[in-house]
């Protein structure tokens, strides 16, 4: 099959449409139509500020969509990935009550129910079946809201999209929920080439049983739309026959799917109108608006998403995606688009796309894409100085760039434009989770390089420098800066920033600071942002604690992080504890390949404890573990394999040194300065580092990665 025209651009439009729908509908999720209309009349704009909420929020619709497809790559089986592997993916990327899902409890949340089943050893698809959980739980909305990406990776191949969507959906759902999910996946897939809405709806229905309830919903709603000519009247009919009162549970799929069909019918070619209808209609607004937005995004195309209302620039493509593996915990629509498209090209047997701008972290190679960069205006000296936008041209390495337009930079006035490296604040937590789960992409020891050009209309004298903002600081005096470079009209710019230790605190923002004299005005076109090198830092004994006790810069499912010194401790240390079972506390990401991780360890009371490297989730890592009277080098891959072991004897609370060296496939373990174990990492090749503890409390200090 030939490559779909503008495949990556269409994936970008689909994902952008989904994210917009989530952000549009999230502030009033669960509201009824009457309450929404009483409060706002109709939803024709973002209303988060009316509710005192951030626009960019962690949300299961986004996190689940982008996480539950990962087993395709993890297994290397792609189209042949079995349903059991999708269930294994849940156990790898989900932390109980901390990541991805709405953790509503067994019997309330279909996903939480299925997750508990998986943890107890019930494999998919039994984990989500009607037989296991009952019809009401199994037919809640979740399967539909997580399924769009399977349409994106199978462009114009609805049969393939449906096959994969069905396997993924059955981890937590059954019955009508799976039918609805398959139908949406088929529509997303078909929309890459089919641009007629009636035909898209027909294609969707063709991929589910003719006698199922979702098929009947389509027949009814499409007929009512033709008869009524008024979506409010059609909604009344839907509410009467398919409303919440007709079904059990907290959020059944059928009512919500019905109003999605209504929105597609009344706004078949209008992204803005479809969002207005589906959000004003109420019920599970973020979920419904996301599915509607995904189909409309790919159908009408990227150029028409913002034609009536600027949906995109208020969030600059930012996505918060908390999972048990922190590499993309703070990400953006274009980065995720290229992950999806890479899988899609493999699935379709197409040639891989050349990496934009020689592997640039941020390359701006899609209209509207800003990789999260927004103007900072927290201080009076920054306000009104700057605008940013994605523009065509001004690029040596590609076709587009980020224009940072500044004006009126007199002495003492600055322009700052930054992108978040770590999520923070209430928007980072969702679904009854208490903790922010995220690790940064930038660490001390790494180098950031930025290349660009200055517009030839520059007036006055201006200079630029890069900065990072580490936790916990917010003041200008605490920012960490690179060297300042003068800007010359029409000249090229290269900014190089070697990030220093600065206490080892995690980095939460990265950006550009422009300052000037003589009323400096002009434009810096950023061609690309590259980073290189590996981390080199000593971790603080007491990590930074953030919102609700979150351990900032770490992904953790331990029960305790104690930041105090015991009477018997010879030095200050951090103690982490897991009351029952095994827990981890890790940082880093899949950029980390060859490195050394070492720490002092004091075992107070634990069945297992030690160090982790090459971490890619709760079921994918290498670890050096003290277990009983053994020191073991183990591979965790949906089960534990001992690579090497040696007898050892430690006294309670005695302080010992452990070290793991990762060099290609070779993993070498040291204890108290002596090499003790060796093994091969033939599966992972990269991943973060951290600590592991089981059934007790362990202390760590002098932790270092280099």
Over the stretch 221-232, which tens digit does the pLDDT of each residue have?
Answer: 999 999 999 999
What is the distance between the terminal CA atoms of the chain, rounded to a whole angstrom? 46
pLDDT at residue number 557: 94
pLDDT at residue number 71: 98
pLDDT at residue number 243: 98
Nearest to 316, CA basis, from 55, 702, 520, 681: 55
Q: What is the DSSP letter of 180?
A: H
User: CA-to-CA distance for 615 and 670, rounded, in angstroms?
Assistant: 19
Domains and CATH numbers, the chain: 7-320 (1.10.4080.10), 374-532 (2.60.120.260), 558-705 (2.60.120.560)
Report the pLDDT averaged over residues 189-210: 98
pLDDT at residue number 545: 77
What's CA 76's distance to the chain center, in Å?
21
Joined tokens for residue 369 = 């894409």
pLDDT at residue number 410: 87
Q: Which residues contact 216 (CB under 8 A, 6 or more apart)?
A: none
How many C-beta atoms lie closer than 10 Å to residue 240's C-beta?
A: 10
Report CA-CA distances (Å) from 112 to 119, 255, 285, 408, 440: 11, 21, 20, 53, 27
pLDDT at residue number 411: 82
Over the stretch 83-101, which tens digit does the pLDDT of each residue have?
Answer: 999 999 999 999 999 999 9
Residue 110 pLDDT > 80, yes or no?
yes
Residue 503 pLDDT > 90, yes or no?
no
pLDDT at residue number 436: 83
Residue 214 pLDDT > 70, yes or no?
yes
Report the pLDDT averaged over residues 605-627: 97
Nearest to 235, CA basis, from 269, 205, 292, 278: 278
Over the stretch 635-670, which tens digit does the pLDDT of each residue have?
Answer: 999 999 999 999 999 999 999 999 999 999 999 999
Q: Which residue has the higher pLDDT, 540 or 39?
A: 39
Residue 477 pLDDT > 70, yes or no?
no
pLDDT at residue number 380: 66
User: CA-to-CA distance for 31 and 278, rounded, in angstroms?
Assistant: 12
Residue 475 pLDDT > 70, yes or no?
no
Across all residues in the chain, what is the average pLDDT? 95
User: What is the share, in percent, of the chain residues with pLDDT greater than 70?
Assistant: 98
Over the stretch 377-396, which tens digit does the pLDDT of each residue have?
Answer: 877 667 788 999 999 999 99
Of the listed ranges 16-25, 344-353, 458-467, 534-543, the one predicted with least confidence: 534-543
Report CA-CA distances (Å) from 606 to 571, 635, 691, 701: 20, 20, 13, 17
Over the stretch 355-365, which tens digit does the pLDDT of each residue have?
Answer: 999 999 999 99
pLDDT at residue number 566: 84
pLDDT at residue number 469: 93
Over the stretch 57-75, which tens digit does the pLDDT of each residue have?
Answer: 999 999 999 999 999 999 9
Residue 606 pLDDT > 70, yes or no?
yes
User: CA-to-CA distance for 274 and 225, rounded, in angstroms?
Assistant: 14
Over the stretch 160-174, which tens digit does the pLDDT of each residue have?
Answer: 999 999 999 999 999
User: CA-to-CA distance for 465 and 481, rounded, in angstroms?
Assistant: 7
Q: Is the four-CA dihedral 582, 586, 589, 593 of positive or negative sign?
A: negative
User: CA-to-CA distance for 180 and 547, rounded, in angstroms?
Assistant: 37
- CA dihedral of residues 453, 455, 458, 463 (deg, nearest 10): -20
Over the stretch 527-586, which tens digit does the pLDDT of each residue have?
Answer: 999 999 999 999 988 888 776 677 899 999 999 998 777 888 889 999 999 999 999 999
Report the pLDDT averaged over residues 14-40: 98
Over the stretch 404-431, which tens digit does the pLDDT of each residue have?
Answer: 999 999 887 899 999 999 997 777 777 7
Residue 472 pLDDT > 90, yes or no?
no
Over the stretch 253-284, which tens digit does the pLDDT of each residue have?
Answer: 999 999 999 999 999 999 999 999 999 999 99
Phi, psi at residue 26, to the nearest 5°? -60, -40
Phi, psi at residue 50, to the nearest 5°? -60, -25
Residue with tokens 């980020």: 402
pLDDT at residue number 476: 66
Contact status, residue 482 vs residue 495, Cβ threshold 8 Å? yes
Residue 291 pLDDT > 70, yes or no?
yes
Nearest to 180, CA basis, from 143, 152, 216: 143
Phi, psi at residue 691, to the nearest 5°? -120, 155
The length of the chain is 706
In the three-class reduction of DSSP (H, G, I as helix; E, B as strand; rest coil), residue 377 is classed as coil
């Amino acid at each position: 099959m030939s490559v779909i025209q503008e495949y990556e651009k269409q994936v970008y439009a689909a994902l952008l449409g989904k994210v917009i729908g989530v952000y549009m509908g999230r502030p009033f999720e669960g509201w009824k139509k009457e309450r929404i209309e009483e409060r706002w009349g109709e939803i024709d704009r973002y209303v988060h500020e009316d509710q005192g909420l951030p626009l960019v929020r962690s949300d299961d619709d986004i996190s689940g969509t982008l996480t539950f497809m990962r087993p395709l790559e993890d297994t290397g089986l792609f189209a042949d990935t079995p349903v059991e592997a999708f269930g294994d993916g849940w156990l790898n990327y989900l932390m109980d009550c901390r990541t991805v899902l709405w953790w509503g409890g067994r019997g309330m949340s279909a996903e939480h129910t299925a997750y508990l089943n998986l943890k107890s050893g019930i494999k998919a698809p039994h984990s989500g079946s009607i037989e296991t959980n009952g019809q009401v739980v199994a037919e809640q909305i979740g399967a539909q809201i997580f399924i769009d990406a399977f349409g994106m990776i199978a462009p114009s191949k609805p049969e393939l999209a449906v096959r994969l969507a069905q396997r993924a959906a059955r981890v937590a759902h059954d019955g009508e929920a799976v039918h609805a999910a398959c139908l949406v996946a088929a529509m997303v897939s078909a929309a890459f080439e089919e641009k007629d809405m009636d035909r898209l709806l027909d294609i969707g229905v063709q991929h589910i049983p003719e006698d199922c309830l979702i098929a009947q919903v389509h027949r009814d709603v499409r007929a009512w739309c033709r008869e009524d000519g008024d979506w409010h009247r059609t909604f009344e009919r839907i509410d009467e026959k398919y409303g919440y009162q007709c079904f059990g549970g907290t959020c059944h799929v059928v009512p919500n799917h019905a109003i999605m069909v209504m929105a597609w019918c009344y706004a078949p070619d209008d992204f803005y109108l479809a969002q207005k209808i589906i959000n004003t209609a109420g019920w599970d607004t973020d979920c419904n608006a996301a599915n509607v937005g995904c189909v409309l995004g790919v159908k009408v195309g990227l150029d028409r998403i913002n034609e009536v209302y600027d949906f995109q620039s208020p969030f600059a493509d930012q996505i918060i995606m908390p999972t048990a593996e922190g590499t993309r915990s703070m990400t953006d629509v274009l980065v995720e688009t290229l992950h999806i498209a890479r899988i899609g090209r493999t699935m379709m047997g197409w040639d891989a796309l050349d990496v934009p701008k020689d592997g640039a972290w941020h390359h701006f190679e899609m209209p509207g894409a800003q990789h999260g960069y927004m103007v900072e205006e927290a201080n009076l000296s920054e306000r009104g100085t700057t605008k940013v936008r994605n523009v065509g041209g001004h690029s040596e390495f590609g076709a587009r760039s980020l224009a940072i337009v500044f004006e009126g930079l007199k002495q003492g006035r600055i322009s700052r434009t930054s992108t978040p490296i770590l999520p923070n604040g209430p928007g980072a937590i969702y679904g009854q989770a208490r903790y922010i789960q995220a690790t940064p992409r930038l660490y001390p020891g790494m180098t950031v390089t930025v290349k660009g050009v200055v517009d030839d209309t520059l007036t006055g004298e201006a200079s630029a420098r890069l900065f990072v903002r580490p936790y916990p600081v917010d003041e200008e005096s605490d920012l960490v800066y690179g060297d300042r470079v003068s800007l010359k009209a029409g000249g090229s710019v290269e900014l190089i920033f070697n990030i220093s230790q600065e206490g080892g605190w995690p980095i939460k923002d990265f950006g550009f600071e422009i300052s000037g004299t003589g009323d400096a005005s002009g434009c810096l076109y950023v061609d690309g942002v590259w980073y290189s090198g590996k981390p080199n830092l000593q971790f603080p004994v007491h990590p930074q604690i953030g919102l609700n006790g979150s351990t900032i810069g770490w992904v953790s499912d331990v029960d305790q992080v104690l930041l105090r010194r015991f009477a018997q401790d010879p030095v200050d240390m951090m103690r982490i504890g897991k009351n029952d079972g095994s827990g981890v506390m890790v940082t880093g990401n899949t950029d980390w390949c060859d490195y050394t991780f070492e720490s002092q360890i004091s075992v107070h009371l634990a069945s297992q404890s030690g160090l982790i490297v090459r971490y890619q989730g709760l079921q994918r890592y290498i670890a050096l573990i003290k277990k009983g009277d053994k020191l073991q080098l183990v591979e965790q891959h949906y089960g534990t394999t001992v690579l090497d072991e040696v007898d050892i004897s430690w006294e309670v609370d005695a302080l010992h040194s452990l070290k793991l060296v990762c060099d290609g496939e070779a993993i070498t373990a040291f204890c108290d300065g002596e090499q003790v174990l060796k093994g091969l990492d033939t599966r992972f090749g990269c991943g973060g580092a951290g600590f592991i503890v089981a059934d007790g409390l362990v202390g760590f200090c002098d932790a270092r990665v280099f």
